[in-house]
Structure 1
């Protein structure tokens, strides 16, 4: 009877009559039928992405998960014992982080309130996450507000999380399997989730702005230094380069603040910022608003001195944030590469990504595509691909998109000759080619025709092998966090062993090693016996100085990575005239 009434109510909305519910619910019901072609009589289960898809979504959301973790943990502590579950989804609606009662996991998984569930509106129908993504505003979708009959027992309250450039980055959702009938019973949940989303935005802006001035605001002096309401980050000239959503609304009524001078928004200039630092009483730090009102301000100085005119920017400081920043943890070579990728991403310049197998070329290509904000993404494995495969990959593509050509050196000669013409016929499709060879050899050795090579290698980015990276420890911790719920730990001896290996398989080998270790460990602590034997490959004449830098000039560790004796390393150092940095 309840199901029949629900279907009849949706039919009335489709005929133009208001349901008496929130307007975003009526609008969503209409989209579900008229745009997505959904049937309100069906009872479809929750949509769960595949493990491979989940890993991709989780990898791309890694920076956001880190920024949100503290706020989500605090929120979950507030609602512990009330049967709430917290979901953090990416901007596409896929749940990438989860906090819930372990005793309810099976029931939550069945309801889709779990990792990997996709709550985008076009798949799940009217729901909290989906409506939040569409409207960009906090919403509560309560019980039979949901379009699908499978979800009418749930109550879901969702709030958007915006990045510092004003783009929707995530959704924070707090849900119940069962709740009181009145929708007003979720008013407290709305207050909690919007406050938590605001804190996530603040944490993200602070993390991305350590080298810039940050100005935080609060309408109350008591909360200014501990829980401010809004914030902006500023460059040396006082222009806004980042803002939380609350700051955008407070200072410009919702219009983008990026590029605006702070003295056109507030009654102060960049030179006044030191007067708003924490050494002054909170109640004295008053900032005039453009509408005649006032707030209290707290200025935070850059954590490192600004560079002098003409002084080069330190490589590690160049990648500001977003998905590209999640690919490295402080390695100078990767920082330089990601800085170049960040600047190239919004351009139409074709890219060629070089590097040994397993160095992360495909992951970098996807990150560049996301940073470019282009539409469609098409991937093609060049080994065995023919002209028909190329045509199929490009057919139906409209608007700016990205074509990923994996292992372009494996293209058959006939296919390679045709590809250049197809790319010219699809000027909106930006090619990103990956290769395990040195880029210049592809043309010099006749692997690719010159016309195609120049069409693909507008810019060449070479990823360093893992044995030369100085952020190996960071990568180990990052990959370990994604295994077994993030609870696994390494003993010092196991960590030292992993740091000393030469990793011929690069990131893929590291991930496989951690998978095996997690499976073999009898507790949540991985020890030396749990590690699989180190794979060995024929030792090429590697770049000794790069390996030494990656090992902080620890001779024993460098020798293990190179698969040689310590005396061999010392002889090569003397022969090549290398010296440790000061």
Structure 2
């Protein structure tokens, strides 16, 4: 009877009659039927992405997970014992981080409240994450607000997380498997999740602005230094180069702040910032708003002075690059590479990033996009990509943005022809391509049409493999904190063993090894027995056919066994001219 009533209510909304629910629920129900072709009588299970897809989503969201982790841990402590589960999804709705009670893990997995679940509206129907992605606003989708019958017991409250350029980067969701009937029972959850999302945005902006001035705001002097409401980062001339969502709403009613001078937004200039530093009482740090109001301000100076270009060495120049500087320690090759990337980031030059599988090509591309201060970011996996995939990816793109073409060496010929036309149609879209193939081989082996290659490779950035980097120790400590938390440490023998390995899988392999070691360690100390053995066959091409046979020529399974991407397996098959048995 309840199910029948739910279906009837959806039918009434489709006929133009309001349901009395929140307007975003009615709008989502209409999209589910009219746009996605969903059936409200079906009880489809949660959509879980494959292991390979999950790793790709998690890798792309790595920077955001690091910024959010502390905030999620704090939020989960606040709701401990109340049966809430916390999900952090990327901008596409895939859950990349999770906090929940171990006692309910099986039930949470079945409900899709777990890692790898895809809560985008076109797959899950009306839900908290999906509605939040569409509206860009905090929402609560409570019980039979959900479109699909499989989810009508859930209550999901979600808040968007925007990056410092104003683009949606993630969604923070707090959900219950079962909750009281009134939707108002989730008002506290809404307050908690929106506050946590605001703090994540603040942490992300602070992490990316260590070399810049940051101005933080609060309507109350008591919270100014400990929990400010909004913040902007400024370059040396006083132009805004980053902002939290709250700052955008406070200073320009939602219009972008990027590129605007601070003296056109507030009653101060960049020269006044030292007067707002922490050595003055908070109640004296008053900043006038353009509408006649006022807030309290806290200015934070750059953590290191800017150096003139003539005084900077090649290995330290990239320190000014903010997000770029986080990609390497004191490695000369990476220093030169990141200095080059910093100079190229604000230009329109198309870039080709080359390097072995797992060496961090996508991370570098994402960092260049962030440093470029461009708007939209569109990522396409070229392995098997069809022309309609490209058109769909670019359909909503307008204005300056970045098009990331991953595994460009695997772009099908017919799609390559279409790509040139799409680039003509989107002149503001800057292409960044990645490839595990040598640049010269892309043309000589006819992997790409020569005209397209030269169009995409205005400058080539070649990432060194992990075994050649001098900052491996720095990377090891950084990834250890990211994968295992700040409490884990390595014994000298375990550290020496990791530093001595060849790492054919590069950063991806190192991350996987640390995940295993953290799981196996019986204390906060990782020792030699906790380290997984080196897989001798993981990167040996002469064993590829045997591995494919053992995997029944399933490319995804073979890629997992080898510890590489599916596109790498396809490339090796073509290189060795292997054919599947009849």
Calculate the TM-score normalised by the size of structure 2.
0.79
> Deviations for 1:117-153, whole angstroms, at most 9, x for unmatched residues?
1111111111111111111111111111111111111
* 2:128–2:158 CA contact under 8 A, matched in 1: yes
Local SS of the residue matching 1:104: helix
Which residue does 2:317 correspond to in 1?
315
Which residue does 1:25 correspond to in 2?
25
Deviation at 1:270, TM superposition (A): 1.1
Deviation at 1:171, TM superposition (A): 0.8
Which residue does 1:231 correspond to in 2?
231
* Greater Rg by CA: 1
Which residue does 2:256 correspond to in 1?
256
**1:200 equivalent in alignment to 2:203:** no
> Deviations for 1:307-332, whole angstroms, at most 9, x for unmatched residues?
247555843424433xx777545645
Deviation at 1:241, TM superposition (A): 0.9
Residues 166 and 6 of structure 1: is their aligned pair in 2 closer, same or farther, counting only changes over 3 Å? same
Residues 111 and 225 of structure 1: is their aligned pair in 2 closer, same or farther, counting only changes over 3 Å? same
* 2:173–2:193 CA contact under 8 A, matched in 1: yes
Task: Report the more deviating stretch, 11-20 or 399-408.
Answer: 399-408
Local SS of the residue matching 2:173: strand
Give the total of aligned pairs: 518
Distance in 1 (alpha carbons) for counterparts of 2:520 and 2:166 = 45
Deviation at 1:35, TM superposition (A): 0.8
> Deviations for 1:479-536, whole angstroms, at most 9, x for unmatched residues?
5567689997532310122123344554455456557756876777542244466689
Task: Report the more deviating stretch, 73-82 or 455-464.
Answer: 455-464
Which residue does 2:433 correspond to in 1?
432
Runs of 5+ in structure 1 lacking a partner?
Answer: 381-388, 538-582
Which residue does 1:377 correspond to in 2?
380
Residues 290 and 47 of structure 1: is their aligned pair in 2 closer, same or farther, counting only changes over 3 Å? same
**1:497 equivalent in alignment to 2:497:** yes
Residues 498 and 369 of structure 1: is their aligned pair in 2 closer, same or farther, counting only changes over 3 Å? same
Local SS of the residue matching 2:201: helix
Deviation at 1:465, TM superposition (A): 2.1
Task: Report the more deviating stretch, 201-210 or 449-458.
Answer: 449-458
Which residue does 1:219 correspond to in 2?
219
Which residue does 2:92 correspond to in 1?
92
Residues 287 and 180 of structure 1: is their aligned pair in 2 closer, same or farther, counting only changes over 3 Å? same
Distance in 2 (alpha carbons) for counterparts of 1:511 and 1:112 = 25
Q: How does 1:521-560 map to 2 (within 5 A)?
A: 525-531=525-531
* 2:484–2:515 CA contact under 8 A, matched in 1: no
Runs of 5+ in structure 2 lacking a partner?
Answer: 398-402, 538-582
Q: How does 1:216-365 map to 2 (within 5 A)?
A: 216-308=216-308, 311-312=311-312, 314-321=316-323, 327-328=327-328, 331=331, 333-338=333-338, 340-341=340-341, 349-356=349-356, 359-361=359-361
Which residue does 1:548 correspond to in 2?
none
> Deviations for 1:349-371, whole angstroms, at most 9, x for unmatched residues?
55443445653446656877898
Distance in 2 (alpha carbons) for counterparts of 1:69 and 1:165 = 20
Residues 108 and 220 of structure 1: is their aligned pair in 2 closer, same or farther, counting only changes over 3 Å? same
Distance in 2 (alpha carbons) for counterparts of 1:423 and 1:5 = 48
Distance in 2 (alpha carbons) for counterparts of 1:447 and 1:148 = 44
Residues 511 and 95 of structure 1: is their aligned pair in 2 closer, same or farther, counting only changes over 3 Å? closer
Deviation at 1:333, TM superposition (A): 3.3
Residues 270 and 48 of structure 1: is their aligned pair in 2 closer, same or farther, counting only changes over 3 Å? same
Residues 13 and 356 of structure 1: is their aligned pair in 2 closer, same or farther, counting only changes over 3 Å? closer
Residues 45 and 340 of structure 1: is their aligned pair in 2 closer, same or farther, counting only changes over 3 Å? farther
Deviation at 1:291, TM superposition (A): 1.1
Residues 177 and 486 of structure 1: is their aligned pair in 2 closer, same or farther, counting only changes over 3 Å? farther
Distance in 1 (alpha carbons) for counterparts of 2:138 and 2:417 = 48
Calculate the TM-score normalised by the size of structure 1.
0.79
Local SS of the residue matching 2:211: coil
* 2:409–2:448 CA contact under 8 A, matched in 1: no
Distance in 1 (alpha carbons) for counterparts of 2:444 and 2:19 = 69
Which residue does 1:48 correspond to in 2?
48
Distance in 2 (alpha carbons) for counterparts of 1:183 and 1:533 = 51
Distance in 2 (alpha carbons) for counterparts of 1:254 and 1:220 = 22
Q: How does 1:404-553 map to 2 (within 5 A)?
A: 404-405=406-407, 427-428=423-424, 430=431, 432=433, 434-437=435-438, 439=439, 454-455=454-455, 457-477=457-477, 490-503=490-503, 506-507=506-507, 510=510, 513-514=513-514, 525-531=525-531
Distance in 2 (alpha carbons) for counterparts of 1:10 and 1:379 = 39
Distance in 2 (alpha carbons) for counterparts of 1:153 and 1:85 = 14
Residues 453 and 89 of structure 1: is their aligned pair in 2 closer, same or farther, counting only changes over 3 Å? closer
Which residue does 1:133 correspond to in 2?
133
Which residue does 2:143 correspond to in 1?
143
Distance in 1 (alpha carbons) for counterparts of 2:297 and 2:432 = 47
Residues 375 and 66 of structure 1: is their aligned pair in 2 closer, same or farther, counting only changes over 3 Å? closer
Residues 482 and 216 of structure 1: is their aligned pair in 2 closer, same or farther, counting only changes over 3 Å? closer
Distance in 1 (alpha carbons) for counterparts of 2:415 and 2:131 = 42
* 1:217–1:228 CA contact under 8 A, matched in 2: yes
* 1:358–1:507 CA contact under 8 A, matched in 2: yes
Distance in 2 (alpha carbons) for counterparts of 1:17 and 1:441 = 61
* 1:315–1:332 CA contact under 8 A, matched in 2: no
Residues 284 and 507 of structure 1: is their aligned pair in 2 closer, same or farther, counting only changes over 3 Å? closer
Distance in 2 (alpha carbons) for counterparts of 1:485 and 1:7 = 46
Local SS of the residue matching 1:320: helix
Distance in 2 (alpha carbons) for counterparts of 1:396 and 1:78 = 42
Which residue does 2:160 correspond to in 1?
160
* 1:84–1:175 CA contact under 8 A, matched in 2: yes
Distance in 2 (alpha carbons) for counterparts of 1:449 and 1:100 = 50
Residues 76 and 320 of structure 1: is their aligned pair in 2 closer, same or farther, counting only changes over 3 Å? same
Which residue does 2:210 correspond to in 1?
210
**1:5 equivalent in alignment to 2:5:** yes
Which residue does 1:384 correspond to in 2?
none
* 2:157–2:193 CA contact under 8 A, matched in 1: yes
* 1:162–1:244 CA contact under 8 A, matched in 2: yes
Which residue does 1:567 correspond to in 2?
none
Distance in 2 (alpha carbons) for counterparts of 1:297 and 1:229 = 10
**1:121 equivalent in alignment to 2:121:** yes
Distance in 1 (alpha carbons) for counterparts of 2:509 and 2:50 = 22
